[in-house]
Structure 1
Amino acid sequence: MKKNYFDEMFENSEKPHNHYKTLWSNMSSLDDESIKRRHMLAEQDFMRQGITFTVYDNEEGTERTMPFDPLPRIISQKEWQVIEKGLQQRIKALNCFLEDIYTDQNILKDKIVPRELIVTSPHFYHQVYGVKVPKKNHIFIAGIDLIRDEKGNYLVLEDNIRNPSGLSYVFQNRYIMRKLFPELFKEYELQSLDNCLYEMLEALKYIAPKNIEKPTIVLLTPGMYNSAYYDHSFLARQMGIELVESRDLVVQERVVYMKTTRGLQQVDVIYRRIDDDYLDPLEFKEDSLIGVPGLLDAYRAGNVSIANAIGNGVADDKATYAYVPDMIRYYLNEEPILSNVKTYILSKKEDYEYALNHLDELVIKERNSSGGYNMLIGPHATEEQKSIFRAKIINNPENFIAQPTISLSTLPTHTAEGIQSRHVDLRAFVLLNEKPHIIPGGLTRVALKKGSLVVNSSQGGGSKDTWVLGNSTDSKEAE
């Protein structure tokens, strides 16, 4: 039977793709018990380091170690060059869009993007309309989710430009892989992650207000009970910046200060890991206990930079996503290098009717949900689930988009039943300084449940180390 998905490792049942030959040869020499033992060592190491995440709807206990699969994903240099150029192009266009939407709104006037799409987005904030963002840089970091179709073409599935999480796991996965399989790193030349956190710090310095040479930078976290707290603490520690909560900051005369043992210290840049709605109780949710009163006023005055910028959610709305190829043509006068997944906007009559008639075939998503929640995968859904979503769509079609069900590409994965194929995607991380910088590889997320297409950790997914090959390995593997 012909597979309806792309196999990342194998051209056919016996022959691996060129860049996987060395890995497959090494892995084939290991028995299941050896791989299982190394997998257990990885779990123990993650537990010791506190590499965990929180599942809020799990009644049995919320704290879990991040599931890690010891069989890496490998991307050839040729493939990566296409991804890199496509992501650089995409992030430039999205940044232009955000600057435009919060100033002149030319793209709306020229009817490239429907005005009603923007004004109905809950993440379009009038409070920051007209605010001058330093260097016009709205996106300090983005997490762009990529998948591969059945022919192996890379497609953009989603843009995450509010508070993308998971970057710390990119570094920790590489660290643990070097401990578990040191012999493999003698066989492959990989593009290095060594300078990426330096690049991240430089990107934060770049957006400091008023061109301050040595800005004080902090990472603002909701606290230790947040699902991504490990991510927050790791990044702050590695960049050498302070990890703060709202109680550590105060605003006086439109300036943000950090409380220290030596008194107040002015803060210039805030890498926030708090959603817009909770950032400032004077401007957004008044009952927020994790925000900083007066922060938005200091931001408007140009006395502090906030990364990512407030209001970015209007650009990673799942309905706005459908127009990113048009943004690339409009702002950059270029054709998109990376394609979108075909997307139906259910506020359009023809798309609405098509979706209701093809629920069995489609993936239905709420425009502003994340983490794999609030969506319907038609081919895997029960009649009851389809009935519920049908009623939701009829009641509020503007809140939904639909996409064809694409069987994500697969990779061999360690499971309780041995090595088996599981579906994967790739979260690529983009830093925007004077020009975009793509972190080599990113985070490969794997659906550990058999047959599942949902890779999110909160839904039973895990992650793999992602290797991007350098020149010498690419040449050797092609021989």
Structure 2
Amino acid sequence: MSAATGIKYDEMLDEDGSVRPAYAEFRNWYDSQDKAWLKRQDAEAERFFRRIGITFNVYGDDAAEERLIPFDMIPRIITAREWRKLTRGIEQRVRALNAFLQDLYHRQEIIRSGRLPIHALRNNEAFLTQMIGFTPPGAVYTHIVGIDLVRTGPEEFMVLEDNARTPSGVSYMLENRETMMAMFPELFTRIPVRPVSDYPRRLARSLRACAPPAFKGSKRPVVAVLTPGIYNSAYFEHAFLADQMGAELVEGSDLRVVDGRVAMRTTCGYKAVDVIYRRVDDDFLDPLSFNKNSVLGVAGIMDVYRAGGITIANAPGTGIADDKAIYSYMPEIVEFYTGEKPILDNVPTWRCSEPDSLAYVLDNLKDLVVKEVHGSGGYGMLIGPTSSKKELAAFEEKLRARPENYIAQPTLSLSTVPIFTKEGLAPRHVDLRPFVLVSPDGIDITPGGLTRVALKKGSLVVNSSQGGGTKDSWVLDE
């Protein structure tokens, strides 16, 4: 695929302005509503989000204030047929990611085969030597996965990136749906939308299924959510999921190693934990194994983990699968571990660590999107077509200084869906993050996910930290 052609695919309207079948019933309902009432409902949605505290913090923001997650009340609608294809592709990719991680930390057959160069691991901070030779309980590395998808045409969904470390945003998916059902209950009687509200129950069940074998069967496994604390940008989600699952929300200071088990402090003393759903990065997880200055993790948790005394979800070291340079090899990875061609394509990617690719990227910088290999949240990236000459020149210096730190991709013509504005419906670019649960019992994909939307006209940046918002994602029932 080349750089953007200017051809855009609108998910609601076809080329002649007719409403596509997926949106037909919704559009009939929308056109029959009083526009003043819709504006009042839009304002009510904002008040609802503010009232229950759906906010996030932005790293590097001098004000360090919490921001409201912008919510758009026009749903993004996906047909049952489209979802079937997506789920096949997502499941294939998640199976491959888990097999890839198992292989990397053991025999490294993919490197022996020549399909992945050894330099992809060498000096890669996301690859943890502490995990070499160790298999997590149930052989599951990626317990919770978020696969970011973009759409460029009627049948063209592509994977933008894999979030296999600590994917966030599922609480916004759930609150978006709750908000829509509260504001427009009649819509859900007219349109058969698949539910998402049981995600916390399914998450709890999946995590319990991943408990160490020695602590299964005789009792219900104890699950806890490990958070860095109230100042973390996703703290709302950590607290929300713990509450919805009926799990304990703990910080590192609440945990300690007692008699070879990780235990949490309670009013009745310390109680052993079987599964830790950690929202703390690898480097801060255990000061005895990683960053010695960390106060966010638990001293000795890695020793307990390697001895089979606890499950950590997601497993330490899964960040190597988040690496954007590794992402560029995913077509080969999928085929190597599944024996199948990828159902979902990658976005074409140039690895700037390779001289020929770097030369191409430097020559075409104004047309490309350049990202940091370990970057996230829209930070540290360049969108060539919207950058000034000064910004392009500054980024060129960064590329020449550390080419191995970057990959580049074409500027895709992302699909658009309608948002609600004071003037009426207007198209905006979106992506989609479906959430996947993995356990020894199988792979469970929630029907829908988080749709992130670039609220600014013409913008391709959907991250909430960069001015984007969210909307409810509807998968139509059969």
**Structure 2-normalised TM-score?**
0.96
- Aligned counterpart for 2:398 among listed residues 392, 395, 401: 392
Give a deviation string over 1:36-95, Cα, whole Å, max 9, x none. Answer: 211111111111111111123333452112111000000000000000000000000000
Assess, with a 3 A threshold, how the Cα gap between structure 1 residues 38 and 61 changes in structure 2: closer, same or farther: farther
Mean Cα displacement is larger for which, 413-422 or 427-436?
413-422
- Report the counterpart of residue 294 of structure 2 in structure 1: 288
- Aligned counterpart for 2:128 among listed residues 118, 125, 141: 125
Mean Cα displacement is larger for which, 249-258 or 28-37?
28-37
- Report the counterpart of residue 48 of structure 1 in structure 2: 51
AA matched with 1:218: A
1:207 corresponds to 2:213: no
- Report the counterpart of residue 91 of structure 1 in structure 2: 94
Native 8 Å contact 1:76 1:469 kept in 2: yes
- Report the counterpart of residue 465 of structure 1 in structure 2: 472
1:244 corresponds to 2:250: yes
Mean Cα displacement is larger for which, 111-120 or 97-106?
111-120
Native 8 Å contact 1:408 1:453 kept in 2: yes
Distance in 2 between residues matched to 1:120 and 1:367, nearest whole Å: 13
1:4 corresponds to 2:7: yes
- Aligned counterpart for 2:356 among listed residues 332, 350, 358: 350
Distance in 1 between residues matched to 2:209 and 2:123, nearest whole Å: 32
- Report the counterpart of residue 267 of structure 2 in structure 1: 261
1:187 corresponds to 2:190: yes
Q: CA deviation at 1:34?
A: 2.2
Mean Cα displacement is larger for which, 275-284 or 252-261?
252-261
Give a deviation string over 1:259-280, Cα, whole Å, max 9, x none. Answer: 1111111111100000001111
**Structure 1-normalised TM-score?**
0.95
Give a deviation string over 1:321-368, Cα, whole Å, max 9, x none. Answer: 111111111111011100000011111122111111110111000100
AA matched with 1:183: E
Q: Secondary structure at the match of 2:13?
A: coil
Q: Secondary structure at the match of 2:264?
A: strand
Native 8 Å contact 2:6 2:413 kept in 1: no
Q: Give 1:7-26 correspondences, 5 Å limit.
A: 7-26=10-29
Give a deviation string over 1:220-270, Cα, whole Å, max 9, x none. Answer: 001111111111111111111101011110013432111111111111110
Distance in 1 between residues matched to 2:443 and 2:316, nearest whole Å: 20
Q: Give 1:93-242 correspondences, 5 Å limit.
A: 93-150=96-153, 152-211=155-214, 212-213=216-217, 214-242=220-248
Q: CA deviation at 1:184?
A: 1.2
Q: Secondary structure at the match of 1:168?
A: helix
AA matched with 1:216: V
- Aligned counterpart for 1:415 among listed residues 405, 421, 442: 421
- Report the counterpart of residue 475 of structure 1 in structure 2: none
Q: Secondary structure at the match of 1:119?
A: coil
Q: Secondary structure at the match of 1:142?
A: strand
- Report the counterpart of residue 377 of structure 1 in structure 2: 383
Q: CA deviation at 1:298?
A: 1.1
- Aligned counterpart for 1:455 among listed residues 450, 462, 478: 462
Give a deviation string over 1:436-479, Cα, whole Å, max 9, x none. Answer: 111000000001112111101111111010000111xxxxxxxx
Structure 2 spans left out of the alignment, 5+ residues: none
Q: Secondary structure at the match of 2:408?
A: strand
- Report the counterpart of residue 365 of structure 2 in structure 1: 359
Q: CA deviation at 1:13?
A: 4.8
Distance in 2 between residues matched to 1:104 and 1:32, nearest whole Å: 62
Q: CA deviation at 1:185?
A: 1.1
Assess, with a 3 A threshold, how the Cα gap between structure 1 residues 126 and 416 changes in structure 2: closer, same or farther: farther
AA matched with 2:379: Y
1:425 corresponds to 2:431: yes
Q: Secondary structure at the match of 1:73?
A: strand
Distance in 1 between residues matched to 2:316 and 2:64, nearest whole Å: 33
Q: CA deviation at 1:282?
A: 1.4
Distance in 2 between residues matched to 1:337 and 1:244, nearest whole Å: 39
Native 8 Å contact 1:132 1:302 kept in 2: no
Mean Cα displacement is larger for which, 435-444 or 253-262?
253-262
- Report the counterpart of residue 443 of structure 1 in structure 2: 450
AA matched with 1:68: F
1:81 corresponds to 2:84: yes
- Report the counterpart of residue 33 of structure 1 in structure 2: 36
Q: Would you say how many aligned residue pairs link Structure 1 and Structure 2?
A: 470
Distance in 1 between residues matched to 2:368 and 2:403, nearest whole Å: 15
AA matched with 2:474: W
- Aligned counterpart for 2:320 among listed residues 314, 317, 320: 314
- Report the counterpart of residue 476 of structure 1 in structure 2: none
Structure 1 spans left out of the alignment, 5+ residues: 472-479
Mean Cα displacement is larger for which, 261-270 or 21-30?
21-30
